[in-house]
Amino acid sequence: MRILIITEAYPPYYMGGYELRCKETAEELAKRGHQVVILTSTWGVNRECIDGNVYRKLYINPAGALDPMKDLPDPFHFRGRTSQLKWFILSRKNYNITKELISSTKPDIAFLWKLYNTGTGPIRAVQDANIPTVFTLGSDWLSTLKEELYQESDPLKRRFRLAMDGLGSFHQIDLDHLMTVSQALKNTYVEKGFPENSITVIPRGIPSEWVIEPGGESTYNPKDGFRLLFAGRLCSEKAPDDAIKALAILVDKMGIKTIRLDLAGSGAEDYLNWLKSLVLQLNLVAYVNFLGKVDHRELLESYRHYDILLFPSRWEEPIGGTILEAMAGGLPVIATDRGGIPELITDNENGLIVSANDPAGLAEGVYRVLTVDGLAARLKTAALEIVHNQFTLERIVDRILVYFQNVLDQPSPGKN
How far apart are alpha carbons 246 and 407 in whole angstroms?
48
How far apart are alpha carbons 170 and 145 in whole angstroms?
9
Instruction: Produce one character per residue of 67-85: b if its CB has 16 or more CB atoms within 10 Å, e if not.
Output: eeeeeeeebbebeeeeeee
List of residues 6+ apart from 4 with CB closer than 8 A: 37, 39, 101, 102, 105, 107, 109, 110, 111, 126, 131
pLDDT per residue over 88-137, tens digit each? Answer: 788 889 999 999 999 999 999 999 999 988 988 999 999 999 999 999 99
Model pTM above 0.85: yes
Pick the CATH number of 208-390 from 2.40.50.100, 3.40.1710.10, 3.40.50.970, 3.40.50.2000: 3.40.50.2000
How far apart are alpha carbons 410 and 286 in whole angstroms?
61
Return the closest-CA partner of residue 313 out of 340, 289, 332, 331: 340
Confidence category of residue 160, pLDDT binned at 50, 70, 90: low
pLDDT per residue over 238-259, tens digit each? Answer: 999 999 999 999 999 999 999 9
pLDDT per residue over 171-182, tens digit each? Answer: 788 999 999 999
Averaged pLDDT, 41-60: 95
- 2-205+393-408 and 208-390: identical CATH topology: yes
Which numeric CATH code is attached to 2-205+393-408? 3.40.50.2000
The domain limits of the chain are 2-205+393-408, 208-390
> Is the pLDDT at 281 greater than 80, yes or no?
yes
How far apart are alpha carbons 353 and 344 in whole angstroms?
10
Averaged pLDDT, 377-386: 96
pLDDT at 330: 94
Confidence category of residue 218, pLDDT binned at 50, 70, 90: very low
